[in-house]
């Protein structure tokens, strides 16, 4: 029989890194969650409403109301964002009295998707690098 001995250098440090992995993971994922909410807000404010309302009648309040619609839950892994203007659902869904639906949230989400995915990919890379660091 052949006996092989494998010695892992810095094993104690690697074990310590794995013990703190949940805290490390939470830290980076919470940061990615927060950055993602701000990406969605940026898309909402910058360019993705494509309003059908005549420019002279636009106030900008619907776009600005996203800043008041940010919510972060304790722990950092859950967050949401949406407009707080009371008329936002009528713009999105339309009305029976002639206001056609404007599905702005769909466009905003689609426009932000790439940046949101990038934030979580970066978080994953940082988690792995932090745990593997010895």
pLDDT grade for 49, boundaries at 50, 70 and 90: low
Residue 47 is predicted with a pLDDT of 65
The answer to whether 59 touches 100, Cβ cutoff 8 Å, is no
Q: What pTM was estimated for this model as a whole? A: 0.82
- For residue 73, the 8-state DSSP code is -
| Section 73-78 average pLDDT | 89
The answer to whether 48 touches 107, Cβ cutoff 8 Å, is yes
Q: Look up residue 108 and give its two tokens.
A: 């905003």
**95-127 per-position pLDDT tens digit:** 888 888 888 899 899 999 999 999 999 999 999
pLDDT grade for 71, boundaries at 50, 70 and 90: very high
Exposure string (b/e) for 3-38, b if CB count within 10 Å is 16 or more? eeeeeeeeeeeeeebeeeeeebbebbbbebbebbbe
Residue 52 is predicted with a pLDDT of 63
Residue 126 is predicted with a pLDDT of 96
């Amino acid at each position: 029989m052949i006996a092989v001995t494998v010695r892992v250098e810095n094993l104690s440090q690697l074990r310590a890194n794995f013990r703190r992995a949940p805290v490390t993971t939470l830290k980076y994922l919470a940061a990615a969650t927060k950055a993602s909410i701000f990406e969605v807000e940026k898309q909402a404010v910058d360019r993705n409403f494509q309003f059908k309302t005549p420019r002279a009648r636009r106030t900008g309040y619907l776009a600005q109301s996203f800043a008041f619609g940010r919510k972060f839950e304790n722990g950092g892994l859950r967050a949401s964002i949406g407009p707080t203007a009371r008329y936002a659902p009528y713009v999105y869904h339309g009305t029976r009295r002639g206001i056609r639906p404007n599905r702005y949230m769909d466009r905003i989400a689609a426009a932000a998707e790439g940046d949101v995915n990038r934030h979580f990919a970066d978080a994953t890379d940082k988690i792995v690098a932090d745990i593997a660091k010895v």
